[in-house]
Structure 1
Amino acid sequence: MFTNLIVRRGFCLNQLFCRRYSKMKNDRSVKVPVQQGIVVGRERELPSGLKYECFLGVPYAVPPVGKLRFRSPVPLEHFDADELDCTKEGDVSHQRDPLTQSVVGSENCLFLNVFTPKKRTTEKLPVMVWIHGGGFFFGNGNSDYHFPAKLLEQDVVVVTLNYRLGALGFLYLPEEGIHGNAGLKDQRLALQWVQENIANFNGDPKNVTLFGESAGAASVQLHTYSKHANKLFHKAIMQSGTANMEWVLQNQPEYKTRRLTELLGGSIDDSQSILKFLQSPKVTPLAMLANTMALLTPDERRRHLPLPFKPVVEQSTSPDSFIDVNIMDLLYEKDRLNGMPVIMGYTSAEGIAMVVNAKRKLDIYDQDLARLVPRNLVVEPNAAEALEAAKDMRAFYFNGQALTSQSLDNLVDLLTDFHFNIDLQHAAEIHAHRQTSSPLYFYRFDYVGNRNMYKRMLQCEKLRGACHGDELFYLFQMSDDESPMTKEDDAVSHRICEMWANFAKHGRPSRDWTPVQPHSDKNQAYQLDYFRIDRECGMRRNPDGERIEFWRSMYKKYKPNCYEALRAKL
């Protein structure tokens, strides 16, 4: 999600990592019929000898340009030609590349990629659909970072996709039928395409697992609580993201739309004029991108991640609503998931991705630790309670001392909890009590090896733990990656891919990974069982338990009525 923080380090992942999975033998054409026509892909071979077929850049919607800009995606009825060349990946959503800082992609970005191992059996294979992260602002599902070589070796079909990002995917103007969440609706339409066509690629449309990381994981949870859950997909994996996290939903979406119009030189006298202006050719994707960060409010700059356009809770008048109820209300709805198996977890040092920015201005963070007080704990950023809470945090995380370069590990812990851990473990506790028919498998990824690339790129090797996104380089490969894997790295990569694939096949990742259980004793703190992914894997209890208990005490202190009300709901 936060790979934009890497840019300033002046490195490139491709220079560190280069095993050329794209250099394949026996590259021959393969044709498969789909509802829109015939797609022409390639049969290729992995270094392991496994043959597979890939179909790249398959369009799943009408290009969302012109009058379709910002609107819900329109299904593509047929290709322009009888046979469509699908040997090259399509454009990614228009964005600033986080590694090169160059502007890439286009509005015409609604493409997906299908990877299927050569048929070894007459049975249809489980399907895994990947949703990339990037804060709903950057990133893509293409094979430069998400080539599923190890997953294909587990006999699953893998689908990756691109969806609209930033204003193009999440602008909100309901008066004119722009109800928001176009990017999420792109994902939903891709899932519909999978249901209609994946059987032709030897995939089982009745056994689809939706998985994603960071903003992709938050998207996955939003899908699981939407009306199409258990219809368009049947299992869910959320890596380092849930929909209740503080950075997921958009703040003041109406203001952002009108302010963007003003910055681009348009009139905000009425909503019709706003939409006509924003859809006009004079408003280019580049112009919108260049003005996006200027939309952040002072409080967002201080206390939020810099992600202006994100999902919204739609109005009830939306004709194709993705989500129109507060996510917390949905989480508490009894057995809403109707038995859907779920994996949920995080990396041990998610906050490394944010500490790069923080350590350049430690004095500001030291003088204003209240910027890291959760907004659902103390709403007003300058309230006396916020200052008191910051004092409590300093005592717990920093032993009452000033923030220095020697306390960066402690700051990473605080950033991990603030941005991820508090809300993630809260979501797990709610799930265990309210979704009792839906098995939940919780994990923490602790492993630090040669493929923890985000940690290396951020030059944070001396800090403890696995960085946000580090597990992705064990789950996926880069298409031009030629570097040898160490024995330990290969073992961890095989283990996580095997567990994810087992979950897709059977609804359980491994025999020694047991699901989370509800806690019957209301007088004791919740006990969270989790699977530790490291050199030695196995079940443990209460990940980062001391820190979570500290935050329980903070909510009891500053939000006692709210805390007890939430406990009562469980």
Structure 2
Amino acid sequence: MTMIMDLKDKIVMDIFRGIPYAQPPIGEFRFQKPVPLNSWKGIREASEYGNVCMQDRIYTKEVWGDEDCLYLNIWIPNGVEGKLAVMIWFHGGAFALGASQGIDIMNSTLYDGYEIAHHGNVIVVTINYRLASLGFLSTGDENGRGNYGLWDQHMAIKWVKKNIANFGGNPGLITLFGESAGGASTSMHALSPVNKGLFRRVISESGDAQTMWAVNRRPLGAARRVAQAVGCPLEDKAAMMFCLRRVPAKDIVLAVRVTESLSNKEILFFLPFVPTIDGEFLPHEPVKLFENSKEIDYLLGCNSGDAHLFVSIWFPGVNIPFGISEHTVLICTAGSLGQAAVESVIFEYTDWKNPTEFSRRFGLVRMYTDMQIIITQPFFSTRHSSSTYAYLFAYPSRMPNLILPEWIGAIHAGELQFLFGKPFSNPKIYNQQERELSRAMINYWTNFIPNAHHFFQLAGIPGLLTFNFKLNFKEVTQRTAFHKDGVGEGVRSQAKSGMSKRSGHRRD
């Protein structure tokens, strides 16, 4: 355990790192649901993060991490009366990359829960879960159902529910939050029947269960690619899984490198190892599971430039003769639109008066962000039974050693530095306006937990706060705004807003 003290030697935060929440998923436990952990004897050291789950490194044919990786971390503020609300964080990374502590950023880890716990008076928990082939390889039947990473998350939630009272937490006031693949994960937990009664609220950032890349409906092909690469049987699926449990984990991870998929525009929006319809955790398509989430309050949203990272990888030159091409639209929608819709999309996202490379790239960013992330949000708000809210984060991205054009807005994951309070832990790098933004985000997220109906009125926030930021980073204004539209220009027209409420069902 680590204790953080103030200048008067008063303990302000207890931190427990590297707590195991399940048995190591190795040997016969590989490609299985996690197995509950037996209690240990004596005192366990909890000052260092646990192993990162095994994954391949971007741009190199190497792996890092370990199969023994099912660990979680807890931040507990001191001096707060009563049992504290609990927030469990699921990291993003295309279900293939990442860790509970996140990347190193400005002399700290990105997902350090200290600032959220300190400013929000909540307990923060971050977890590891199995990734890529080790976490999501599936034969599509009882031999290898997949979703092991989701079951890891489920086990961690159950562990927190059972044990968090011993850390000063309220087991009846648990909220899940996550970004990108982590956001899709929180959404799937809300829809899954196995989670009934484990948590009350969910926050999904830049990803949900309806996002196009979040579910693999034909997982056997990817499993066979791995099996073929390591010399395991291809047709007998029971024999395939028996063999794969005996192959070195490193060979399995490198057999099909997900990081290569992320840079291959020919398989846009298809990731080989993501959640699948397994008949248990996800018994049906997500669209058919909303009955399971009717008691759960939901906050979801995205960033104004979420797509820029992907567009810059997949379309580096944007060599389109004039406007957005039909081929590009079909790639970006995985062929899911009819011809009339394709023509409409081309018209909507092409700047006919100014067909420059800049306008084409800007159109692609808007199109991908709208189609892959924003478009799913009204779906949730119209089908979800409890209170549903949405936000749009639009503060222009700024990171050390990363200079981006101002028109891009907030890139994918750009909000995380503010949510995790980096302007407070690194005050010399950020300005006062950015600390105000960070404080507001933490207030929104943490006040959503005790009262989803009125969270925007709590903690001294005047009404439903939105931020207007001029692109020169110099001016911050606050105003109240309620928006009903959720797709395309409905949200896009509020591109300077940091937060908006969207219409949805609400229980009074």
Sort the Cα spacing of 1:397 and 1:295 in 2 relative to 1 into closer, same or farther, 3 A.
closer
Task: Name the SS for the 1:70 alignment partner.
Answer: coil
Give 1:77's aligned residue: 38
Give 2:350's aligned residue: 398
**CA displacement at 1:374 relative to structure 2:** 2.4
Contact kept? 1:125, 1:156, Cα under 8 Å: yes
Percentage of identical aligned residues: 28
Sort the Cα spacing of 1:47 and 1:241 in 2 relative to 1 into closer, same or farther, 3 A.
farther
Map 1:66-105 → 2, pairs under 5 A: 66-79=27-40, 81-98=41-58, 103-105=63-65
**CA displacement at 1:58 relative to structure 2:** 0.3
Give 2:106's aligned residue: none
Contact kept? 1:126, 1:204, Cα under 8 Å: yes
Contact kept? 1:176, 1:271, Cα under 8 Å: no
2:18 paired residue among 49, 57, 60: 57
Q: CA RMSD in A?
A: 3.2
Sort the Cα spacing of 1:367 and 1:440 in 2 relative to 1 into closer, same or farther, 3 A.
closer
The separation in 2 between residues aligned to 1:85 and 1:305, in whole angstroms, is 42
Contact kept? 1:373, 1:390, Cα under 8 Å: no
| Residue 127 (structure 2) pairs with residue 179 (structure 1) | no
Contact kept? 1:372, 1:418, Cα under 8 Å: no
Contact kept? 1:115, 1:157, Cα under 8 Å: yes
The separation in 1 between residues aligned to 2:38 and 2:113, in whole angstroms, is 29
**CA displacement at 1:404 relative to structure 2:** 1.6
1:285 paired residue among 250, 263, 271: 250
**CA displacement at 1:112 relative to structure 2:** 0.2
1:446 paired residue among 383, 390, 394: 394
Contact kept? 1:94, 1:105, Cα under 8 Å: yes
Contact kept? 2:99, 2:128, Cα under 8 Å: yes
**CA displacement at 1:482 relative to structure 2:** 6.6
- Per-residue CA shift, 1:254-310, capped at 9, x if unaligned? 1211121012222224123211221114x4324433423599799x85353352100
Contact kept? 1:356, 1:458, Cα under 8 Å: no
Contact kept? 1:213, 1:239, Cα under 8 Å: yes
Give 2:448's aligned residue: 503
1:145 paired residue among 89, 92, 110: 110
The separation in 2 between residues aligned to 1:471 and 1:135, in whole angstroms, is 17
Give 1:192's aligned residue: 158
The separation in 1 between residues aligned to 2:202 and 2:297, in whole angstroms, is 7
Task: Name the SS for the 2:456 alignment partner.
Answer: coil
Task: Name the SS for the 1:84 alignment partner.
Answer: coil
The separation in 2 between residues aligned to 1:247 and 1:231, in whole angstroms, is 28
Contact kept? 1:444, 1:531, Cα under 8 Å: no
- Per-residue CA shift, 1:157-176, capped at 9, x if unaligned? 11000000101111113555
How does the TM-score come out when normalised to structure 1? 0.74
The separation in 2 between residues aligned to 1:324 and 1:533, in whole angstroms, is 40
The separation in 1 between residues aligned to 2:137 and 2:311, in whole angstroms, is 29
**CA displacement at 1:70 relative to structure 2:** 1.1
- Per-residue CA shift, 1:225-269, capped at 9, x if unaligned? 122445211111111111011110014201211121012222224
Give 2:67's aligned residue: 107
Give 1:490's aligned residue: 435
| Residue 355 (structure 2) pairs with residue 355 (structure 1) | no
The separation in 2 between residues aligned to 1:547 and 1:372, in whole angstroms, is 21
1:274 paired residue among 218, 233, 240: 240
**CA displacement at 1:537 relative to structure 2:** 4.7
Contact kept? 1:136, 1:215, Cα under 8 Å: yes
The separation in 2 between residues aligned to 1:279 and 1:490, in whole angstroms, is 48
Give 1:116's aligned residue: 76
The separation in 2 between residues aligned to 1:194 and 1:457, in whole angstroms, is 38
Sort the Cα spacing of 1:371 and 1:467 in 2 relative to 1 into closer, same or farther, 3 A.
same
The separation in 1 between residues aligned to 2:433 and 2:19, in whole angstroms, is 36
Aligned AA (1:59):
P
- Per-residue CA shift, 1:38-92, capped at 9, x if unaligned? xxx121136898710011000001100111111100010123x521111100011
Task: Name the SS for the 1:466 alignment partner.
Answer: coil
Aligned AA (1:55):
F
Give 1:23's aligned residue: none
**CA displacement at 1:491 relative to structure 2:** 0.4
Q: Which runs of 5+ in 1 are unaligned?
A: 1-40, 316-320, 379-384, 514-529, 551-570
Give 1:130's aligned residue: 89
How does the TM-score come out when normalised to structure 2? 0.83
Contact kept? 1:70, 1:171, Cα under 8 Å: yes
**CA displacement at 1:427 relative to structure 2:** 2.4
Task: Name the SS for the 1:310 alignment partner.
Answer: coil
Contact kept? 2:210, 2:286, Cα under 8 Å: yes
Deviates more, 1:201-210 or 1:303-312: 303-312
1:231 paired residue among 197, 202, 208: 197
The separation in 2 between residues aligned to 1:510 and 1:101, in whole angstroms, is 47
Contact kept? 2:90, 2:127, Cα under 8 Å: yes
- Per-residue CA shift, 1:529-550, capped at 9, x if unaligned? x964444253232457664699
Sort the Cα spacing of 1:342 and 1:412 in 2 relative to 1 into closer, same or farther, 3 A.
same
The separation in 2 between residues aligned to 1:135 and 1:475, in whole angstroms, is 20
The separation in 1 between residues aligned to 2:258 and 2:80, in whole angstroms, is 50
- Per-residue CA shift, 1:378-427, capped at 9, x if unaligned? 3xxxxxx45x6444323221135766234322221111112211122332
| Residue 364 (structure 2) pairs with residue 411 (structure 1) | yes
Sort the Cα spacing of 1:324 and 1:197 in 2 relative to 1 into closer, same or farther, 3 A.
same
The separation in 2 between residues aligned to 1:430 and 1:175, in whole angstroms, is 29
Give 1:31's aligned residue: none
| Residue 149 (structure 2) pairs with residue 210 (structure 1) | no
Task: Name the SS for the 1:368 alignment partner.
Answer: helix
Sort the Cα spacing of 1:549 and 1:464 in 2 relative to 1 into closer, same or farther, 3 A.
closer
**CA displacement at 1:99 relative to structure 2:** 9.4
Sort the Cα spacing of 1:231 and 1:51 in 2 relative to 1 into closer, same or farther, 3 A.
same
- Higher RCO structure, 1 or 2 (CA under 8 Å, sep 6+): 1
Q: Paired residues, what number? A: 467
The separation in 2 between residues aligned to 1:543 and 1:358, in whole angstroms, is 29
